[in-house]
Structure 1
Amino acid sequence: MSFSQKVAEDLLVQAARFCCLCRQYKGTKIEVHHIIQEANGGSDEHENGIPLCFDCHAEVESYNTKHPRGRKFQPSELKRLRDDWFGLVASGKAPSAAVSQDEDTELIRFYSQCFDRPAFQDYFQQEGTMEAFDKAIEDTITAINTGCLLSRDGKTLAMAKGKSYLHNQQWRDQMDVIVDILKAIRSRYKLAIQLGQIQVGNGNHSRQFYCFHDSELAQWMDMTRAEVLQLFSNICKEAGIKTLIFPRKRWRNRHY
């Protein structure tokens, strides 16, 4: 058996077609889950139903009692989460689907500005300043995490919100991955300096120069930054804004 059309419709209306766990608008990508499974005596009544998106539904059902790890969603917990969300919808305090999408799109547009810098445009071996490269990666991480976009000299260029404010759970998860990769880039850069794979020195007029002793390092940096922009571009496509490409600046051979 399954929920009747009337019961399922009532639950979806009460949730405004938002998932009661991740609290994102899902439209048609939503299901009505039995809080207590039918095999365990659960009914098809309203009290036993909770609207969940595909991902959260899979998460709730993925717990393996034969090989327990983590904490299982308990029926009482699911009911509390459902009733709390229903209460927000009924009180008018829950964000509308349009507002959630618009807010997320604006945040993605803001993060796109964070990647509009040479550290994501030039090949690694063509970077003008290694210290500036590392600082740009650091500032990008800060902007995504906190919503504060800084210039090279530390001045605030723009303010928004950090990735934790994204309503779209998938976008938030992807931004988490992007930040982790950016942190890995910084760690790899610092290790390269320690191992002497990048040599930093001073030339005339105190202008710094760089010698690269590991071609694979440069390839890794280029491939990893391209991966970051590809992940972010996937989000941009879903948000309907311009995607990013690495490298944007291509150096052409000059004929004299």
Structure 2
Amino acid sequence: MRSISRLVQKIHFEDFSGSEFERLVFAYHVRARWTELAWYGQGGGDHGRDIVGSEPLDDDARRRTVIQCVNRGSLTQKKAEHDIQRVLSSSTKVDALKFVTRGAVSATRRDAIHIFAKTSGIESLTIWSGAEFEEHLRLIGEDLLKRFCAGEVFPDKADELRRFADDFAGLTDGDALAQMAAVLDRPALRTPFHAECSLVAFQQAIEDTIAALNTGIWRTREGDEIRRIPSLHHLRDQRIKANVSRSAQLIDQLRRTFLSGLRDKRIRPCACGSDTCTIFFVDPAAGVELDRIRSEALSAFREVYPGFRVHLG
């Protein structure tokens, strides 16, 4: 594949072939911790489904989403409606639909496509213009852009492309921190404690975060592997490594403090008797201590990654 562009100004997606654009979209979503990704466009006969995957949501839930790659100068209403109808006529169960385009998409066009999708039965629709896709790439996948735009050939098969996107050999510390940041952006680390709290799998979320930072293995609360990310042991700069290690240690302290609170009844489950109840009562002093530890953990990470936008509360 020829050298397509340089990472100096905007990325010229118009220079990418359809397959090349789909490769980059697929690789990005591997990096963005989507799971069960299938690249239908690669094999032909996609019935309007370029890529299908399990999309992570803010509350640690997931939804089945179809990704349409639109390597055209514009996303027309006719094209969008045609793709939506083809997706709905396929055998794939659809929870949401996402268009990733190379061109600009006006507000009027977005509104019209959203209206058509909703009337067709699709409640959740996302549209990324080329500029928006580039911003997302630069946030967590700039190393992919560097490799792709420097002429490094991306594999043709989905499994090989998944390994390519998960390769950490060429990552800078900044690239690694960008991936680690996603692990720390979860309700268990940013929702303040109150006298009465809903703690949905809080302890498991904390343990999963510690494991991901230390081993690079990111799992769901059920224990299934989501994907691999760089661990703190991949970091080269000793100051950065020390801060991330400190953040991991503080999160472990958070886990131990929470368990101690359960033992001495400063943190008490609801007395309703239901095994599925998520409500806990937290003594004020215990809540202050837990919030202090979480705030320090997030601050330690932010010191070496200023772009980290996660704050307690």
TM-score by length of 1: 0.51
Counterpart residue number, 2:285: 216
Q: What SS is found at the alignment partner of 1:124?
A: coil
Q: What SS is found at the alignment partner of 1:246?
A: coil
1:142 Cα deviation from its structure 2 partner: 0.4
Q: Flag structure 2 segments of 5+ consecutive residues without an equivalent.
A: 1-167
Counterpart residue number, 2:215: 146
The two structures, once aligned, show a CA RMSD in angstroms of 2.3
By percentage of residues, which structure has more strand? 2
1:215 Cα deviation from its structure 2 partner: 0.6
Look up the equivalent residue of 1:183 and give its one-letter code.
D
**1:234-253 matches, cutoff 5 A:** 234-237=303-306, 241-247=307-313
Q: For the residues of structure 2 that align with 1:177 and 1:140, how far apart are their CA atoms?
A: 13
Deviations 1:94-120 (A, max 9, x none): xxxxx9995211210111011111101
Q: Is the 8 A contact 2:214 2:231 kept in 1?
A: yes
Q: Is the 8 A contact 1:119 1:127 kept in 2?
A: no
**1:1-256 matches, cutoff 5 A:** 102-125=171-194, 127-129=197-199, 132-201=201-270, 203=272, 206-208=275-277, 209-212=279-282, 214-237=283-306, 241-247=307-313
Q: What SS is found at the alignment partner of 2:227?
A: strand
Q: Flag structure 1 segments of 5+ consecutive residues without an equivalent.
A: 1-98, 248-256
Deviations 1:122-151 (A, max 9, x none): 112364226x11111111110000111112
Q: What SS is found at the alignment partner of 1:107?
A: helix
1:121 Cα deviation from its structure 2 partner: 2.0
Number of aligned pairs? 144
1:244 Cα deviation from its structure 2 partner: 2.3
Counterpart residue number, 2:51: none
Deviations 1:175-213 (A, max 9, x none): 11111111111111111111111112453764423222x
Q: What SS is found at the alignment partner of 1:230?
A: helix
List 4+ stretches of structure 1 deviating above 4 A.
99-102
Q: Is the 8 A contact 1:229 1:244 kept in 2?
A: yes
Identity among equivalent positions (%) equals 21
| Higher mean displacement: 148-157 or 196-205 | 196-205
Q: Is the 8 A contact 2:254 2:290 kept in 1?
A: yes
Look up the equivalent residue of 2:312 and give its one-letter code.
F
TM-score by length of 2: 0.42
Q: For the residues of structure 2 that align with 1:205 and 1:143, how far apart are their CA atoms?
A: 31
Look up the equivalent residue of 2:212 and give its one-letter code.
A
